[in-house]
Structure 1
Amino acid sequence: MRGPFGWFTKQDETSPMVLLALGVGVTPIRALLNETKDMTKQVNVVYASNYYLFKKEIDQIVENNNQIHISYVETIEETEKAYTALAMQYKNTAYYYISGNKASIDAISKKLKNLGIKKSRLIFDPFLGY
């Protein structure tokens, strides 16, 4: 078996990664974390949900790599505060991976663009039907 395939994969080996998991959007984020768990670049995860799927597995990955950091958030305000802080920290040096429902992705990508993040630094994986 080979892979991963598609557009929602790491873009390079050196750029920091900001991973925004919105509810069930954690599934592709989890795959990215498994792909990057042995890497030395900075990986920051914002996991927004009321119930955290794969929490034990994600916490284990984070525990085994001090370059990976996670913030568990529940509200829209907490989510916005977390990704805004990361956008201000990394600006256009990071890639921003956003996975979740299309409406949330659209709102977050608009706010990130307003913060000066280039469209080329945004990677989406919309979950349609949510």
Structure 2
Amino acid sequence: MSATLATMEPDDAADVDPDVAAALGADGLTYKVWGGDWCPDCTGQLPGFAAALEAAGVPADRVEQYPVEKVDGEKEGPGMDEYGVTRIPTVIVFADGEEVARFVESADTDIATYLARELGGD
């Protein structure tokens, strides 16, 4: 997929926990990321997540970005119906084609730490 999100530019100031990076960088994991460059939650959270992926050494071909637009007050974007995405940012982690973790909009911690915990890498 060639579409990209400006909010997925890594935050160079992000401090990434090595254990989190190790969990995110595990072999075989792929990521699908839905967000909107107009969305405050996305602009606040996705740069740090992108920095964590970079620290984990996750190659760009294992991260698919799905830009979401706001049309007449509704969020619209590729793959939203197929994957049941209603809020952004949403990040779904896959291993061998199966969903193994999902972050939706907000949690008690940042996206990378949350997903690492879900993947058993805490």
Pick the TM interval, shorter chain.
Answer: 0.3 to 0.5
TM-score for both structures, normalised by structure 2 = 0.39
Q: Which has the higher helix share?
A: 1
TM-score for both structures, normalised by structure 1 = 0.37
